[in-house]
Amino acid sequence: MSIPHLNDDELNLAVLGEDLPPEAVEHLAGCVACVRRRDAFLTTVEMARGTDPDEATQVQVRERALAAWGAPNRHHWARWLAAAAAVLVLSLLPLRFHRTAPLSAINADAVMLEVDQVLDRDPLSAVAAEEIVDTVVPVSAESGERSVS
Amino acid sequence: MASVPQRGPALRREDEGELVEAARRGDRDAAGTLLERHELLVFRTCRRLLPAGEDVEAAVQETLLRALKNLGRFRGGGSFGAWVVAIAVNLCRDRLRRKRLVPFLPLEVRDENGADPFASVPSSDPNPERVAMARQAVQRLRKEVSLLPTRQREVFALRFFVGLDLEGIATALGVDVGTVKTHLHRAVQRVRVAVEEARP
């Protein structure tokens, strides 16, 4: 009586190189068709694997990783320095803002005080020169009409 | 753990622990040796988990750097290679999530080295029909893998393209070996059937 061909599960085990039931091992030893099915798959996998990168590429990539590994100390310092600078700038900003705001207020008050003093001395100085002329001697009056003011 | 061929003098497992300790103390040579041993795993992982057009080299570099910066978190009992691959997997997931990219295995004719990924397909085969069929099968396999659910795709890629064993995959993905087996069998079943359709 001939032993039947390997079923799917047995063929998968054969492909993976795992232990087969004794009767399947016996069959595989003498069945060209089953051996061909197993080998066809393994050959196709081998071809699909493709080529490995060349030695030069591997060395290049490795060296870059090693160089980057050696660099953290520098980055650490730079990072700490940048953080310290940022903290310093942020801590000074409120001071600057606090100082400029009252100064602006003081200047405005001084200007208004000065304006009030000038107006007290000479109220007409608050009116533009052309307006004074137009009010005292209207343009229409020059042409013989009555002034409305 | 992995089937990646080692370059230079073979290092024993206990040597790796010493290398990790030395690298933790800032020993650049030890760190370089560690990276050299596992860089190919990271390359293969990033290449297979990131879609075409993504900068694989940048992803590998970032993975290696993260590994070096987090050496203190590595538990000495496990495989360092699987631990680094775990970092690579997480980085690839982050990139895909951030850019909302649809993950897939590249189907383009040229790979990132400018090489023909079908170079290993026997083009000198006197039977052109067989060559065409083999290429078709490769394309079908890649497409089918790209259509797998995320976890199945990751498990398949780590097993067949990166070369990790079940324990290594479990460590890299943070799941147990039983879960890896389940996903792997489902993925193999689906991909194998697709390949057989393309390559009867």
Q: Which residues of B touch A9 (CB under 8 A)?
A: 185
Closest CA–CA distance from residue B118 to any residue of chain A (Å): 6
Q: What is the pLDDT of residues B142-187, one digit of tens each?
A: 999 989 999 999 999 999 999 999 999 999 999 999 999 999 999 9
Domain extents for chain A?
8-50
Structural contact between residues B143 and B108, judged by C-beta atoms closer than 8 angstroms: no
Task: Give the class (CATH, top level) of B1-103.
Answer: mainly alpha
Show which residues on chain A lie within 8 Å of chain B, measured between beta carbons: 8-9, 11-12, 15-16, 37, 40-41, 43-54, 57-58, 60-62, 64-66, 68-70, 72
**pTM listed for this prediction:** 0.67
DSSP B99-155: HTPPP-----SS-TTS--TTTTS-TT-S-HHHHHHHHHHHHHHHHHHHTS-HHHHHH
| Helix, strand or coil, per DSSP, at residue B2 | strand
What does the alpha-carbon distance between residue B60 and residue B41 come to, in Å, rounded to a whole number?
10
| Helix, strand or coil, per DSSP, at residue B164 | strand
Of A48, A53, A62, the CB nearest to B141: A48
The confidence score (pLDDT) of residue B101 equals 57
Q: Is the pLDDT of residue B65 over 60?
A: yes
Closest CA–CA distance from residue B14 to any residue of chain A (Å): 23
Residue of chain B whose alpha carbon sits nearest to that of A72: B69
Asked if B160's CB is within 8 angstroms of A45's CB, the reply is: yes
What does the alpha-carbon distance between residue B134 and residue A131 come to, in Å, rounded to a whole number?
102
Of A11, A47, A54, the CB nearest to B118: A47
Residue of chain B whose alpha carbon sits nearest to that of A61: B61
Sign of torsion, CA B184 B185 B188 B191? negative
Q: What is the pLDDT of residues B101-140, one digit of tens each?
A: 555 555 444 444 444 555 555 555 667 887 888 889 999 9
Tokens of B82: 């699987």
CB under 8 Å to A23, separation ≥6 — which residues? A3
What does the alpha-carbon distance between residue B12 and residue B70 come to, in Å, rounded to a whole number?
22
Positions of chain A with pLDDT lower than 50, given as ranges: 74, 141-149
Most A CBs within 10 Å, among B24, B87, B192, B199, to test the A interface:
B192
The confidence score (pLDDT) of residue B100 equals 66
Q: CB contacts < 8 Å between A and B, how many?
A: 103
Q: Is the pLDDT of residue B62 over 90?
A: yes
Q: Count of alpha carbons within 13 Å of B79, Cβ hemisphere only?
A: 20
Which amino acid type is present at position A4? P
Q: How far is CA B160 from the centre of its chain?
A: 8
Domain extents for chain B?
1-103, 113-200
The confidence score (pLDDT) of residue A135 equals 54
The confidence score (pLDDT) of residue A129 equals 56
Topology of domain B113-200, CATH? Arc Repressor Mutant, subunit A (1.10.10)
Q: What is the pLDDT of residues A112-149, one digit of tens each?
A: 888 788 888 876 666 655 555 555 555 554 444 444 43
Structural contact between residues A37 and A11, judged by C-beta atoms closer than 8 angstroms: yes
